[in-house]
Structure 1
Amino acid sequence: MLELYRADLHVSISDPAATSMNFLNEIAGRYPDAISLAAGRPYDGFYSVEDIARYQQSYVDHLRGRGLGEERVRGLLLQYGRTNGQLGELIARMLEIDEGIAVPAESVMVTAGCQEAMIIALRALCAGPDDVVLAADPCYVGLTGAARILGVEVVPVPETPAGLDPQTVSEVAREVRAAGKRPRALYLVPNFSNPSGVSLPVATRRRLLDVADEQDLLLLEDDPYGLFGLDDEPRPTLKSLDTGGRVIYLGSFAKSCFPGARVGFLVADQAVVGEEGGRTLLADEMSAIKSMVTVNTSPISQAVIGGVLVESGCSLRTANRDKVAFYRNNLRTLLAALEEHFPQPDRGERGVRWNVPSGGFFAVVDVPFPADEKLLERSAEQYGVLWTPMSFFYADGSHHGIRLSCSYLEAEQIAEGVRRLSRLVVENA
């Protein structure tokens, strides 16, 4: 049998980000009784198999209500479809209702999850070997992993406890240019970031848009958690504040609808000028890439998401009221459990501290010892609790911290998981 050598395969095969996620899955599989404060997936209790057929039927009824005949409806669901998808009008309407984002339906591309949207955006923007992408550090591993597969360099921009500092973004962009490279875009999650949980103040968002103008950057705004704040305070997206066409908006229906549908989208309403002066939308130009990656997003999956949008009047904020309440309670439970099991002054003496996110699924706990894969395995085996090393999310792979997720569990499990974690910390500090 033929044997291949890993050294002859692409570097992404052994990328630390990808192998770290595989390691987490493997640990979870070996210790099924451990409470997982590592999984950032949505809570299972919100989903029913019966909902799939109901939402699909709602979408079919919507198509028929628009006057489409049976042959056309059948073709839309069961045949190859338009590369950029068939939900553009519904998604554009949703963005206007929920986020105050006004874009033409033609600027929306429906993707196979937000991960594909990242890959398409990176590939379209980074045309040559000297084109690089800036990203908040720590960064979601999906972005860094996608860049590694494409051979795109990611330049980290250190995040502060308050999130990205626009001045630092500007300085890093200038340093990149001084090194003979071209910074094309900045990737960030302004609302309740994964992994840090940080949400950017409105003033910072406006200043980032100014920096994007000054440094000729596009902003890749990823917003999977924006619905899930601890309060109803308005948190305007960068895209809604953008008057200069600097923001490409990346969206996902995984947290708000069905993760199993694997439907995401991007909004690219920037004008592209051709060699002869013709103008097209960036989303249309990007369709050439998508056609070679997935051909088109599953129409059957699109019908499920279309049904959710139809039933909710194109408002995910309306459709997610119960989820918002659940995730709010879970985050409050997580923060309260940390206070209970790491009381002052004991936690200060042990060098334990954590941030207090204003929403989302994650919080970060700093501990006074290396929180590495070896300790994680011992945590699962001896203490029955899983978490994610923050080192997985940093460019240099070093950080004494752990990410805790509160989305996948019941409140009682979260509290018990933190209790188990406190034993691990006390006995290893």
Structure 2
Amino acid sequence: MTVELAREALHESVSDPASASMNFLNEVSARFPDAVSLAAGRPYEGFHTTDDLDRYLKTYLAHLEELGLSHEQRQRQLLQYGRTNGTIGALIARMLAVDEGIEVPEQAVMVTAGCQEAMVIALRGLCAGPDDVVLAVEPCYVGLTGAARLLGVEVVPVPESADGLDPETVLEVARAVRASGRRPRALYLVPSFANPSGASMPVPARRRLLDVAAEADLLILEDDPYGLFGLDDEPRPALKALDTRQRVIYLGSFAKSCFPGARVGFLVADQTVVDADGRRSLLAEELSTVKSLLTVNTSPVAQALIGGFLIEADYSLRAAGQQKIRFYRNNLRTLLAALERCFADHPRVRWNAPDGGFFAVVDVPLTADAELLEVSGRDYGVLWTPMSFFYSNGGGRRSIRLSCSALAPEQIEEGVRRLAALVRDRSEPEPAVAR
């Protein structure tokens, strides 16, 4: 007799709807391949080809040769397991200094298998006991909440405003958590063009948040995948660039600036750790034990690809990514213009106007759930993401996230046109006003 396992006996992350949302969206996209997908937050596929891979590898190998590594050493670096925290930390540190004004030693950089692994490592390393919790902006990227659920770490939501996270709300929530007997260890947020909301924190609020972190004894997990892609060139400094007290652990990825197939991310943790004997080290070095138990090390071949890309970019993603920046700016403007054109005469549809990034949020007069998404893909040929996926307690039920990153402008316009037909046909009656 074959083994049968009760699904209810497996860990909650297997069946939790929020944790499964990314797989669900992939499944819906596969069922409706001809639908215009305003759901996918992946980068546009036209910027790189497989021909680039050989060139990046050769560039990186030439760099190693210039550093004095022998043929055997170069072979070993790419073909063996390699250092747990990675081999391109110095290149990443240099890129951060050039693009972001973030000055950290290469030893503070851990190269990870995508930013998702960086989140898992940071959460596992910081949350040591049952009373340790992490605060997170809400609505929140499901990768963070899913990682926390996988680890058994409680996430306490901090509601976001139209201008991003309000520092005073963070302080209020942190105090309430501490008063309840729990310990708030860290705060997760995307300060620039957040996923899913598109919101971005003003610079004064960023500075105040760092003061709040010190006052509330919080570390900040700053996730910054979209910071390059503002609608203008207005400086929006990373929290880590403003961090003079080492309160910020910076989470980065090359998925949007380069390509996601490499699966290379990183974390910057330059906080000092002191053991019982007074020995001092950097947090990134201490977290290497956690990484070694997850993936042993990040693929040296993938690191070499990103290393070659950084060298060719002269260590500036911003300078090398001007074509991408222009493309994503135009796409976001196209999305916002299409919403205005298709919904201007619909008083019950509202949307935000982000200053950059990949996403916008639309409030609609209908319940935007997985069932409606099936109808939308099958009957209207357009896909989107229910905002309820990004809330912990039933929020966002009448809102959707639209992504404009993976499409050509004409596809964005057609997708919004199809969405308008769905909303027109499926809008729920306006509640009667009590007299």
In the superposition, the TM-score normalised over structure 2's length comes to: 0.97
1:392-403 residue pairs with structure 2 within 5 A?
392-399=389-396, 400-403=398-401
2:359 aligned partner: 362
Q: Using the TM superposition, give the Cα deviation of residue 294 of structure 1 relative to its aligned residue in structure 2, in angstroms.
A: 0.3
Q: Which amino acid aligns with 2:22?
A: M
2:419 aligned partner: 421
Contact 1:15 1:148 in 2 (8 A): no
Contact 1:138 1:158 in 2 (8 A): yes
What SS does the corresponding residue of 1:16 show, helix, strand or coil? coil
Deviations 1:211-236, CA, capped at 9 Å, x for gaps: 00000000000000000111111100
Q: Which amino acid aligns with 2:368?
A: A
1:331 and 2:332 are equivalent in the alignment: yes
CA–CA distance in structure 1, aligned partners of residues 14 and 285 of structure 2:
31
Q: Using the TM superposition, give the Cα deviation of residue 398 of structure 1 relative to its aligned residue in structure 2, in angstroms.
A: 2.7
CA–CA distance in structure 1, aligned partners of residues 11 and 392 of structure 2:
19
1:123 and 2:124 are equivalent in the alignment: yes
What SS does the corresponding residue of 2:19 show, helix, strand or coil? helix
Deviations 1:390-427, CA, capped at 9 Å, x for gaps: 00001113311000000000000000000000111111
CA–CA distance in structure 1, aligned partners of residues 271 and 23 of structure 2:
37
2:432 aligned partner: none
2:346 aligned partner: 347
1:385 and 2:386 are equivalent in the alignment: no
Contact 2:102 2:241 in 1 (8 A): yes
1:149-298 residue pairs with structure 2 within 5 A?
149-298=150-299
2:433 aligned partner: none
What SS does the corresponding residue of 1:174 show, helix, strand or coil? helix
Deviations 1:148-204, CA, capped at 9 Å, x for gaps: 000000000001111111111001001101111000000000010000000100000
1:375 and 2:372 are equivalent in the alignment: yes
What SS does the corresponding residue of 2:229 show, helix, strand or coil? coil
Runs in 1 of length 4+ with deviation above 4 angstroms?
Answer: none
Q: Using the TM superposition, give the Cα deviation of residue 10 of structure 1 relative to its aligned residue in structure 2, in angstroms.
A: 0.8
Structure 1: give runs of 5+ residues left out of the alignment.
none
Q: Using the TM superposition, give the Cα deviation of residue 19 of structure 1 relative to its aligned residue in structure 2, in angstroms.
A: 2.1
Deviations 1:226-279, CA, capped at 9 Å, x for gaps: 001111111000000001110000000000012000000000000000001110
CA–CA distance in structure 1, aligned partners of residues 111 and 16 of structure 2:
28
2:431 aligned partner: none
What SS does the corresponding residue of 1:139 show, helix, strand or coil? coil
Identity %: 70
1:148 and 2:145 are equivalent in the alignment: no
Deviations 1:299-322, CA, capped at 9 Å, x for gaps: 000000000000111111122111
Q: Using the TM superposition, give the Cα deviation of residue 7 of structure 1 relative to its aligned residue in structure 2, in angstroms.
A: 1.6
Deviations 1:338-393, CA, capped at 9 Å, x for gaps: 011111xx222xx1100000000000000122101111110111110000000000
Contact 2:19 2:145 in 1 (8 A): no
What SS does the corresponding residue of 2:346 show, helix, strand or coil? helix
Contact 2:38 2:412 in 1 (8 A): yes
CA–CA distance in structure 1, aligned partners of residues 394 and 308 of structure 2:
42
Contact 2:60 2:305 in 1 (8 A): yes
CA–CA distance in structure 2, aligned partners of residues 138 and 28 of structure 1:
23
Q: Which amino acid aligns with 2:381?
A: G
CA–CA distance in structure 2, aligned partners of residues 222 and 19 of structure 1:
21
Q: Using the TM superposition, give the Cα deviation of residue 208 of structure 1 relative to its aligned residue in structure 2, in angstroms.
A: 0.4
1:107-122 residue pairs with structure 2 within 5 A?
107-122=108-123
1:411 and 2:412 are equivalent in the alignment: no
CA–CA distance in structure 2, aligned partners of residues 347 and 376 of structure 1:
21
CA–CA distance in structure 2, aligned partners of residues 41 and 397 of structure 1:
26
1:90 aligned partner: 91
Q: Which amino acid aligns with 1:292?
A: L
CA–CA distance in structure 2, aligned partners of residues 62 and 280 of structure 1:
29
CA–CA distance in structure 2, aligned partners of residues 116 and 397 of structure 1:
27
CA–CA distance in structure 1, aligned partners of residues 130 and 73 of structure 2:
44
CA–CA distance in structure 1, aligned partners of residues 155 and 17 of structure 2:
14
Q: CA RMSD in A?
A: 0.7
Q: Using the TM superposition, give the Cα deviation of residue 47 of structure 1 relative to its aligned residue in structure 2, in angstroms.
A: 1.8
What SS does the corresponding residue of 1:106 show, helix, strand or coil? helix
**What is the total number of aligned residue pairs between the two structures?**
425
What SS does the corresponding residue of 1:17 show, helix, strand or coil? coil
Structure 2: give runs of 5+ residues left out of the alignment.
428-435
In the superposition, the TM-score normalised over structure 1's length comes to: 0.98
Contact 1:132 1:183 in 2 (8 A): yes
